[in-house]
Structure formats: structure tokens, C-alpha cells
Structure 1
Amino acid sequence: MTVDVSRGGLLVTLAIFGVIVYELRTVLDFVGVELPLIPYMAAVFILAGVTIWFVTLKGGWRTDPEGDEPA
């Protein structure tokens, strides 16, 4: 089984996920539930590392576009 993702797509997905989680943290802070920033940052970096490790383990990155033949 291979994971068919590109590096750019994965990085954009992780960035969007990180922003969403940060905004949820901001909303909780507004409501009165204060969460520290350092564990949030550590969790985002751990998630990115595990995701990159998983993609590498399952076959690596998609580097060549399929079906893109030169004229």
C-alpha cells in the first residue's frame, strides 16, 4: 500500500489543521478556559513528524506526475 500524497499537499493540510486547532484554543481562551501554548506547539510538531514518518513508511512521496507525457 502506498500513500499518494505530495509534500506540498501534506504541508498545506498540516498548516490548515494547525490554524484550526489554534483558533479553537483562542475561542476556549475567550470563553475562560486557558490552555498553555507550549503543549499545543509540541502537539503540532509531533503530529507533523508522525505524519511524515507514516508517509515515508508507506511508500514515500509522490514525486512524478502520472500521465504527464512529454509531447
Structure 2
Amino acid sequence: MSVDVSRGGLLVTLAIFGVIVYEMRTVLDFVGVELPIIPYMAAVFGLAGATVWYVSLKGGWRTEPERDDPA
């Protein structure tokens, strides 16, 4: 099984996910629930590392789009 994903798409997805989680942390801090930043950062870097490892394990990155053969 090959994971057909581009590096740019994966990195943008991880960045968006990280910003959403950080904003949820900011909202909780505004409400009065204080969460430390270090576990958040460790979780984001851990998720990114695990995702890159999984993609590399399942077939690597898509480097060139598939070409259609002429009819």
C-alpha cells in the first residue's frame, strides 16, 4: 500500500492542525483553564514526527504526478 501524499500538503495540514489546537488552548486560557505550553509543543512535534514516519514507512512521498499515456 502506498500513501499518495505530497510533502507540502502534509506540512500545510499539520500547520493548520497545530494552529487550531493552539487557538483552542488560548480560548481555554481566556476562560480560566491554564494549560502549559511545553506538553502542547511536545505533542505537536510528536504528531509531526509520527506522521512523517508513517508516510515514509508506507511508501514515501509522491514526487511526480502520474502521467496519462497518450491514446
Where do 5+ consecutive residues of structure 2 fail to align? none
| Aligned sequence identity (%) | 84
Q: For each residue in 1:14-47, what CA deviation from the matched residue of structure 2 results, as whole angstroms up to 9, or x when unmatched?
A: 0000000000000000010000001100000000
Q: Normalising to structure 1: TM-score of the pair?
A: 0.93
Distance 2:58 2:38 in 1: 30
Give, in whole Å, the separation in 2 of the partners of 1:35 and 1:21.
Answer: 12
Distance between the aligned counterparts of 1:14 and 1:65, measured in 2? Answer: 22
Cα distance in 1 between the residues matched to 2:19 and 2:66:
31
Task: Identify the residue that residue 28 of structure 2 maps to in structure 1.
Answer: 28
Q: Which residue of 2 is the match for residue 57 of structure 1?
A: 57
- Hey, what's the Cα distance between the residues in 2 that align with 1:2 and 1:21? 29
AA aligned to 1:9 is G
Separation (CA, whole Å) in 2 of partners of 1:31 and 1:3? 40
TM-score relative to the length of structure 2? 0.93
- Corresponding residue for 1:13? 13
Any idea what SS the aligned residue of 2:23 has?
helix
Distance 1:43 1:65 in 2: 32
| Gap regions ≥5 residues in structure 1 | none
